[in-house]
Amino acid sequence: MPSSSIVTLDKNGKEITSVGYNDFGFDSVVPLDALRTLYLRPHYVTTTSDKEASEEANHALFSKGEFAAYQSKSIYSPETSSISYTTLTRFPPVKLLSPSNRKRILVTGGAGFVGSHLVDRLMLLGHDVTVLDNFFTGSKTTVSHWIGHPNFEMVRHDVVEPFMIECDQIYHLACPASPPHYQFNSVKTVKTSFMGTLNMLGLAKRTKARFLITSTSEVYGDPEVHPQTEDYWGHVNPIGPRACYDEGKRVAETLTYGYHRQDGVDVRVARIFNTYGPRMNPYDGRVVSNFIVQALKGEDLTVYGDGTQTRSFQYIHDLIDGLILLMNADETRPVNIGSSDEFTIGEFAKLVRDIVEKVQDEDGVKRERRVQVVYKPIPTDDPQKRRADTTRAKAQLKWQTRWTVRMGLEEMVRYYKAKMAEGSL
């Protein structure tokens, strides 16, 4: 196992020590170490077995310095499979902003994968953050390290029902985003996309808050144009198994621009492409988490179809940079936020296998065998190609991805590996 912390290099070979930008009058720069301690440190430590050392070591590869001290130390006993929780003795340090600079920010779906990383960033920046979540796919543990902080409020609420609050910005992320979750109750998914967006736009209209909705590359369906620009109208099956999500997001965009033109609501639309990173639900059917967990468990990697369909993958920190830039910029047109690094699914499976093997070798973990790639029938309406044209984001937001796929994958592999060592995966 390496004795020092892992150095993260960007696409140009420069070390990444911070994330965020200081543009459009909004400083979103935070130290990378401060962020990592919120998701790469253990939620609890094992005191009754030798696993304690492996947990601490797995997490500490990416966590170092002063920020490692701001952690909960609950006690987990694997013999009885019980846990004794404790609260943080001290919250991570956040910026102290003047009242004129501190914004009241509402994040719907703030306990989900993307939402929790956005909340971490906004909290570290010193803003007042309120999270709305019904915990259908989100988890309270993703933001539990902020509960009790004077700048933070967590509300269990379904956005299908109206919600009243005073705020300056609304990040509307609430909606199941992976096929198993949004297909579980397709009517509810459409209802969340329409009624949830309607309620939040109504709130934005009343409070004069700026409103950002996270739309999706799924609005392009199975595209006939490659890569996809924001002006492409899409190629969507309106009655297929994915339509509840695809068409739900399309009507949510329609509603957003209806409020913008009719009522003057200040809106932003982010079309998010495939994103991966820590806190992804390992069992939600997404390709990245599927591959990593299968490889770590020594199981063969499952590829649906012949592996020639392509995807582009961006790391979570790049996405959060893009969302904050868009919220604070003056661009009201839809903006693609995604990576231009395109892989076939078959190639990507082999890349994940290589990185898992690299991490295992560095940590001295012996494999019983090399995992193989197995192919299964492709699901209905699964797009063959998906890659963002990010010309608009680069021109209007000065945004582009910094994290290489290899670097992001390695951090995610170590996150899942540490979760398995903790016994929480």
Query: Which residues carry out catalysis?
Result: 245
Q: How many secondary structure helices (H) and strands (E) does the chain include?
A: 12, 20
Scored b (16 or more CB within 10 A) or e, 88-127 reads beebbebeeeeeeebbbbbbbbbbbbbbbbbbbbbbbbbb
Q: How many Cβ atoms sit within 10 Å of the Cβ of residue 387?
A: 22
Q: Give the pairing of strands 342-344 and 310-312.
A: antiparallel
Instruction: Examine residue 78 and say whether the peptide bond preceding it is cis (omega within 30 degrees of 0).
Output: no
111: its two tokens = 């306990």
Residues constituting the chain: 425
Helices 345-362, 287-296: axis angle to 10 degrees equals 40
What is the rounded distance in angstroms from the CA atom of residue 300 to the CA atom of residue 103? 48
Q: What is the secondary structure of 273-293 as a DSSP string?
A: --EE-TT--TTS--HHHHHHH
Q: CB under 8 Å to 281, separation ≥6 — which residues?
A: 113, 137, 178, 289
Q: Is the four-CA dihedral 234, 332, 26, 252 of positive or negative sign?
A: negative
Q: Give the pairing of strands 301-304 and 210-216.
A: unpaired
Q: Percentage helix, strand, coil, to 5, in the chain?
A: 40, 20, 45
Q: Give the pairing of strands 30-31 and 18-19.
A: antiparallel
